[in-house]
Structure 1
Amino acid sequence: MNWLDFTGASLSLLSTYYFTQARRLAWLVGIFAITLNVTLYWQKGIYGHLILEGIYFISMLYGWFQWSAKATSKPSRAIRYLSWKEISYYALLAASGIILMAQTLSAHTDSTIPYWDASTTILSLIAQWLLCIKIIHCWILWFIVDVLVALLQLYKGLPFHSAVHWLYLIMAVVGYYRWRKLFHQQTTVLEVHAEHASPY
């Protein structure tokens, strides 16, 4: 048993649980998980995910800041949905990114799964960005990513990480419904405040 596989997967799972609850502690736990995962992916030659973990590290710091009161002058950044225009933009970005990264992996590494690796990497980056800015659609992307990554890691001989990603899929569903509930709660609060602030 690879202890990096087990420990990194466990910390990643804990971090994801905190994300489903919209708790800022998720970012700190995630930083520790990334430190272990970088070493693991290097050993296994999963280069796209190695790059991804490095970007995740930066996003953890950014997300920690964005979810803080200092970033918004509010208790926390508000949860929101994407517009159709934004969804179209992100879909185009994803398709372009996957093709470009797959071609790069094919040309410059010994990757045997360039499109699979590229798809999970690019979609994960977009989902992570949406998570940082509290867009509820991030959980829908995580549904897709979790299935693809679980299969990839099983194929690459990482059973603990694969098992955790099946749990991530369940947690993504929980996260979606939890965030939707929080969205409706915050909308109700804003409506009440607006009514009280109105001079009429």
Structure 2
Amino acid sequence: MHNLISLFIEQIKETTWVQWLAVALGVAEVLLARVNNIWLYPAGILGTSIAIYLLLDVGLYAESILNGYYVVMSVYGWIYWLKKKNEPPVKISWQTKNEWIISLTICVVGWVFFYVLLKNLPAKYFTPSNVPVWDALISSTAWAGMWLLARRKIENWAFLNVSNLFAIPILFYKHLPMFALLTIFLFIIAIFGYFDWAKTEKQESGSKS
């Protein structure tokens, strides 16, 4: 236990200001997401752009691709939330049957795709991943969660938390302690976010009846 604490302290000391900035933006993004504030997207775009560089540096290639997807989905989500001036805002809601099929398909197909990709990355250009199964799982479940977040679906929090749960030990293993602590924070916030969004959806549904 003492050795683990010492290792953690040493990793914190080695944390760069770039990692601190990425973590700060990640915290801002999730807090804004919890209160359903559209400013989560610009914070997320900047934070994930920085994370791409950091994750590539430690060989988490699927998570790097995932963060590129985060940037794209953040832009999509920003536009989707804004919509046209005279249209009603996008409401929080539960997934439909078709959306469940799509989100689960993203998870399964994404997991297989990332695993095959990571196992066959050309060694000439990349250092082979030593955690391809977990890297692929973390990324595929988060892909589905981000798609649902962009559409304001309550289940996004559950999918993102599956990703968070597996990401925490991997990030410690890859000597990214601040990212690991951020992920623990995201995991906790996502639990509250799920219940907050469910409460909001219930109130909005009740007001229509």
Fold match (TM-score > 0.5): yes
Separation in 1, partners of 2:81, 2:107: 25
Query: How far has the Cα of 1:136 moved from its partner?
Result: 0.3
Letter in 2 for 1:60: S
- Between the aligned residues of both structures, percent identity stands at 22
Asked if structure 1 preserves the Cα contact closer than 8 Å seen for 2:106 and 2:143, the reply is: no
Query: How far has the Cα of 1:88 moved from its partner?
Result: 4.2
Letter in 2 for 1:178: D
Query: How far has the Cα of 1:171 moved from its partner?
Result: 0.2
Specify the alignment match of 2:82 in structure 1: 68
Query: How far has the Cα of 1:22 moved from its partner?
Result: 0.8
Separation in 1, partners of 2:25, 2:39: 12
Q: What whole-Å deviation, never above 9, does each CA across 1:111-133 have from its counterpart, x for those lacking one?
A: 11111111111111110000000
Letter in 2 for 1:97: G
Specify the alignment match of 1:197 in structure 2: none
Unmatched 5+ residue regions in structure 2? 1-14
Alignment partner of 1:179 out of 171, 183, 197:
197
Letter in 2 for 1:170: I
Specify the alignment match of 2:188 in structure 1: 170
Alignment partner of 2:111 out of 98, 115, 122:
98
Alignment partner of 1:77 out of 74, 81, 90:
90
* Off by >2 Å, runs of 4+ in structure 1: 83-93, 188-191
Alignment partner of 2:100 out of 87, 92, 100:
87
Query: How far has the Cα of 1:9 moved from its partner?
Result: 1.2
Query: How far has the Cα of 1:83 moved from its partner?
Result: 3.3
Asked if structure 2 preserves the Cα contact closer than 8 Å seen for 1:139 and 1:172, the reply is: yes
Q: What whole-Å deviation, never above 9, does each CA across 1:10-36 have from its counterpart, x for those lacking one?
A: 111110111011110101111111221
Alignment partner of 1:9 out of 12, 18, 23:
23
Alignment partner of 2:60 out of 27, 46, 52:
46
Separation in 2, partners of 1:86, 1:66: 16
Moved more, 141-150 or 122-131: 141-150
Unmatched 5+ residue regions in structure 1? 192-200
Separation in 2, partners of 1:98, 1:37: 21
Alignment partner of 2:161 out of 137, 143, 150:
143
Specify the alignment match of 2:132 in structure 1: 114
Specify the alignment match of 1:155 in structure 2: 173
Specify the alignment match of 1:124 in structure 2: 142
Moved more, 38-47 or 157-166: 38-47
Shift in CA distance, 151/129, structure 1 to aligned 2, threshold 3 Å: same
Shift in CA distance, 93/11, structure 1 to aligned 2, threshold 3 Å: closer
Size of the alignment, in residue pairs? 190
